[in-house]
Structure 1
Amino acid sequence: MRSIAASFRGQPDPAFPDELVHLTIPGTRLVEAPRVVDMPPVTAVLPPPVMPAGNPPSGVSVGVEGVAIVTSRRLRFLGPGFAREWPYDVLTGLKDDDRAPITLLQVAGAGPSGVLVPAAAANRFRLHLRLAIADTAGNRAGVVAQIDQFIGWHQTHRPGPAAKAEPHEAPAWAWWTKGRLITAAVVAGLVFCCCGGKVLNQATDRSALPAATYHR
């Protein structure tokens, strides 16, 4: 993420020479959220990396499938026979859902709407969208600084070593380790060779069996 934030500039868009394409995500769905009223203001602040995969929240309706395109000037959605766009310079609200891979955007004079991207692409989409918005405001360095903070927090909050378990705390099935299973099999084999073989020989030795009696 830091490498992308520090150096990625996008690719030229053949259809719009004054735009650079950051990311194209097929399998995206258009969403509408007319009842959502708590839209936060637009910032380039990155949400913490997550992998949301839950259901859409209440008040958000999921529509047709299409392609989401993050460019240097706007977020575009290309649906079946129509297109929607959210230019960054007229955005008044921006919100990433923390339970589903949904990003809502709001422009002046319209209700919130946005996109539901595939869960596996959510973090990448949110990063590139913030980068594009930051570039519009001339604040790419601010996004890089945020990622550095995430990295620093990660390095200083490593988990401690796990407490050692005592023998009496082990579950009952833990006694049957691989070594003990092999030992038990070897012992069983030796018992069979020493005892089972003798019984088998006795059972098959004709001299040990009584003579059959025939009656006319």
Structure 2
Amino acid sequence: MARTESTGSTWRYRWAQRQNVRRVSTYRGAETAWRRRDDELRRLRALAADFEGSAAAGAGLPLELVDDEVVLWALPAAQLVEVRHTTVLPAPDLTVAASAAPLRPRRPDGVRVTDAGMAVITSRRLVLLGGRGRRDWAYGRMTGLAHDPAAPVTLIQVLDRRRASGLLLPTDAAADFRFKLTLAFADAIEQRAAVLAQLDELIAEHDQLKPFRPAVATPAQARLSSFVPGGRRTIAVAAGIALLVPAALFDSNPSDPTGGAEVAAAATPGSPPGAPPALLRPAVPAPARTTAPKRTSAPRPSSTATTGPRCGAPENPLGYDFCGGTRIRKPAAEVCDWFDCVPQFWAGRGYLVQCRDGSVSLTGGRAGACADHRGVRRTISQ
């Protein structure tokens, strides 16, 4: 029986099954990462709203509290570090953004450990109750505060000390320590509301990045290029080889071991009859006319580039993302293999955009773009 190319073809069903498995796997991975970050932001928001201390929390600590001072948090394992050289730290701020990379349990260069003990955050100061004594950092005297982005070290500058000092903490406790120190400092300068507003903004921005459940791929969406391993690239390479091989066979004559040198010698005026081809000098071509070099545009990025953040876009080998850049008016033919295209996608006359229901349309910049899909959400760029 002859093979048909209808939607009932077996290869089309296999293509749809592979696409659906890949889409679901990609979606679940993105959703897990998104939900982990969402849970962390909401945990910090709840902690910031209910972060309170009490004088009873300091009972049993060898620390004398002043009037209306309360203990907010205590960590029994901390090390006192001091900077070997004079440095200037940035002014304290209320940033609560999470570190981009996980912290490593190491001590930065130029920092030495001088004591160890318990770190205590109160409503007025940060205190280390060490084996060699007590070290205080009063919030009202802080002039600089810096958290190392790669190590669990926090350095502080105060008015009455020339060199910066701080704490080296366990990696699993560093994030909570930094956040609670920020809350305590914000309370001291009466700016708790600014921290809450910042967390609300981060949660709202993160909600916009929630991945959409992908649409189900159907056999009717399969292209003929999907039937060939490698798709359109394999077809293009095969076509190029098909054109080059006949040309190479035409230029070469396997029955002539001299490669046509004798014929060229016979056609050269003044050449001695019977002279071997090796003794004949090849004709020197006339010098080519020099022309100004053509101006070429900058090379376009490769369609297989996948490096860099995609800002919530699904993983794809086309280099398309939501980060903002060059608008895409002529998308790659396989764009619907990686994004959920709207019906009649190729009838669009605009640039590539994502609609609010998660589908992708080619009507960006035109009136009524994504009209049947709750409007335009954001632009897809390259």
The verdict on a shared fold, with TM-score over 0.5 as the criterion, is yes
2:114 is aligned with 1:71: no
The aligned residue for residue 23 of structure 1 is 73
Q: Distance in 1 between matches of 2:195 and 2:123?
A: 15
The aligned residue for residue 98 of structure 2 is 48
Q: TM-score, normalised by structure 1?
A: 0.69
Q: Distance in 2 between matches of 1:6 and 1:42?
A: 21
Q: Distance in 2 between matches of 1:118 and 1:70?
A: 16
Conserved? CA contact 1:53–1:99, under 8 Å: yes
Between the two proteins, what is the percent identity of the paired residues?
A: 37
The aligned residue for residue 141 of structure 1 is 193
Q: TM-score, normalised by structure 2?
A: 0.40
Q: Which has the higher helix share?
A: 1
Conserved? CA contact 1:25–1:69, under 8 Å: yes
Instruction: Please list every run of 5 or more consecutive structure 2 residues that lacks an aligned counterpart in the other structure.
Output: 1-43, 211-311, 318-382
Conserved? CA contact 1:34–1:113, under 8 Å: no
Q: Give the letter aligned to residue 76 of structure 2.
A: P
Q: Distance in 1 between matches of 2:151 and 2:127?
A: 20
Q: Secondary structure at the match of 2:70?
A: strand
Q: CA deviation at 1:60?
A: 1.2
Q: Secondary structure at the match of 1:19?
A: coil
Conserved? CA contact 2:74–2:118, under 8 Å: yes
Q: Distance in 2 between matches of 1:114 and 1:81?
A: 15
The aligned residue for residue 3 of structure 1 is 46
Give the 4+ runs in structure 1 shifted more than 6 A: none
Per-residue CA distance 1:93-116 (angstroms, 9 max, x = gap)? 101010111111111141100001
Q: Secondary structure at the match of 1:18?
A: coil
> 1:46-195 counterparts in 2 under 5 A?
46-49=96-99, 51-110=102-161, 111-158=163-210, 159-162=312-315
Q: Could you say if the C-alpha distance between residues 59 and 142 of structure 1 is closer, same or farther in structure 2, counting changes exceeding 3 Å?
A: same
Per-residue CA distance 1:131-168 (angstroms, 9 max, x = gap)? 1100110000011112222222322234444459xxxx
Q: Could you say if the C-alpha distance between residues 2 and 89 of structure 1 is closer, same or farther in structure 2, counting changes exceeding 3 Å?
A: same
Count of residue pairs the alignment pairs up: 164
The aligned residue for residue 180 of structure 1 is none
Q: Give the letter aligned to residue 135 of structure 1.
A: D
Which deviates more from structure 2 when the two are superposed, residues 111-120 or residues 11-20?
11-20
Q: Give the letter aligned to residue 70 of structure 1.
A: I
Q: Which has the higher strand share?
A: 1
Per-residue CA distance 1:18-41 (angstroms, 9 max, x = gap)? 312111111111000142523001
Conserved? CA contact 2:99–2:149, under 8 Å: no
Q: Could you say if the C-alpha distance between residues 64 and 18 of structure 1 is closer, same or farther in structure 2, counting changes exceeding 3 Å?
A: same
Q: Distance in 2 between matches of 1:139 and 1:11?
A: 20
Which deviates more from structure 2 when the two are superposed, residues 14-23 or residues 37-46?
14-23
Q: Could you say if the C-alpha distance between residues 57 and 2 of structure 1 is closer, same or farther in structure 2, counting changes exceeding 3 Å?
A: same
Determine which structure has greater relative contact order: mean sequence separation of CA pairs < 8 Å that are 6+ residues apart, divided by chain length: 1
RMSD: 2.0
Per-residue CA distance 1:181-208 (angstroms, 9 max, x = gap)? xxxxxxxxxxxxxxxxxxxxxxxxxxxx
Q: Distance in 2 between matches of 1:49 and 1:71?
A: 24
2:89 is aligned with 1:39: yes
Q: Distance in 2 between matches of 1:49 and 1:26?
A: 23
Q: Distance in 1 between matches of 2:122 and 2:178?
A: 13
Q: Distance in 1 between matches of 2:113 and 2:97?
A: 22
Instruction: Please list every run of 5 or more consecutive structure 1 residues that lacks an aligned counterpart in the other structure.
Output: 165-216
Q: Give the letter aligned to residue 70 of structure 2.
A: L
Q: Distance in 2 between matches of 1:55 and 1:161?
A: 35
Q: CA deviation at 1:117?
A: 1.0
